[in-house]
Amino acid sequence: MRVLITGGAGYLGTELVRALARAPEVDEVVVYDNLSRRNYNLMLGPPLSEGRDTRIRLVVADVLDTRRLRAALDGVDVVIHLAARVTTPFAEGDFHALEQVNHWGTAELSYALEERRGSVRRLIHLSSTAVYGQSEGEATLDTAPTPATAYGISKLRGERMVERLGSDLDLFLVRCGNIYGYSRSLRFDAVINRFLLDAHLGRRITVEGSGEQRRAFVHVDRAAAAISRMALGELEPGRFHLLDRNLSVLEIRDALLQLYPDLESLYIAQDLPRRSLIVAPDPRLAGPLPPLAEELAAFRTHFSFD
């Protein structure tokens, strides 16, 4: 089986490459990435897959590069589409930049797949819980998306572009929460990672708003494991929620306080109400879930000094 991962050199992509390159049924993992974040960690450090790294091939190209994208799909059985512009949960970016990649980049991929109807048999499309905007109650897979941010809108438009391919291939439409946890390609603009770094370095975190706002979160290892199962055909296609739990900023702070009892919290605009989003975890992806503080303690061991 040949798997192509767009955005495969990114945070989640790196862990997914690691998981798939170890799978005996995978002959090649094609990492299709424009390296726009200047993160080269996929290629650095110890081997990812115990002697199987020769099965990893990097194509440095943009998802909007129609010609290279089409060529890269030669002989590919499974596509995992991670390439995206991402914002952190609490920030808005340039609307067009989000649209360009998340909507039109996904559109380019959809045309390439449409043209090769029958060759790529499975598509895993990474969307976001941001398509729900905010919720009064818990958003389920039946909840109509009402995105509240430019990022959420661009991700929903991307979904619509691949949904139309559902009769051509097995489509996994995955609405993913905010990712956290150690990876050699990790990002420190993800809120839990940022807090851990700030707590570790300066014993001080900054909370915007009241801190009661909630979001859906998933550990990078569990996200990679779930997507890997989809890629290997261990799950039936469909729409998925990929998250471990919903947490408020204050609950994240409480977990950090267990590791750093002298941690201080600074509040900015704490009277400002911030929207919350609570998303129902997907029973098809359920598994053992360690306490957050335990996971953060494991993450902490990767810091080289205190």
- Determine the Cα–Cα distance for residues 122 and 76; give it in Å rounded to an integer: 10
Interacting positions 120-149 with another protein (CB under 8 A): none
Nearest-approach distance from CB 94 to another protein, in angstroms: 9
Burial class (CB in 10 A: 0-12, 13-18, 19+), 201: exposed
Q: Do 261 and 203 meet the contact criterion of CB atoms below 8 Å apart?
A: no
* Site pattern 79..98 for another protein (x: CB under 8 A): -----------------xx-
Alpha-helix runs per DSSP H in 30-182: 66-72, 95-98, 106-115, 150-163
- Determine the Cα–Cα distance for residues 91 and 249; give it in Å rounded to an integer: 15
Nearest to 290 by CA among 302, 298, 301, 282: 298
If one asks whether residue 67 binds another protein (CB under 8 A), the answer comes out as yes
If one asks whether residue 160 binds another protein (CB under 8 A), the answer comes out as yes
Active site positions, annotated: 151
If one asks whether residue 239 binds another protein (CB under 8 A), the answer comes out as no
The two three-digit tokens of residue 129, written as one number: 């819980």
The two three-digit tokens of residue 91, written as one number: 């920030």
Nearer to another protein, 60 or 266 (CB): 60
Nearer to another protein, 67 or 286 (CB): 67
Applying CB under 8 A, which of residues 28, 65, 77, 208 lies at the interface with another protein? 65
If one asks whether residue 74 binds another protein (CB under 8 A), the answer comes out as no
If one asks whether residue 64 binds another protein (CB under 8 A), the answer comes out as yes
Interacting positions 162-181 with another protein (CB under 8 A): 163-164
DSSP state of 100: I
Contact set with another protein (CB under 8 A): 62, 64-68, 96-97, 100, 104, 107-108, 111, 160-161, 163-164
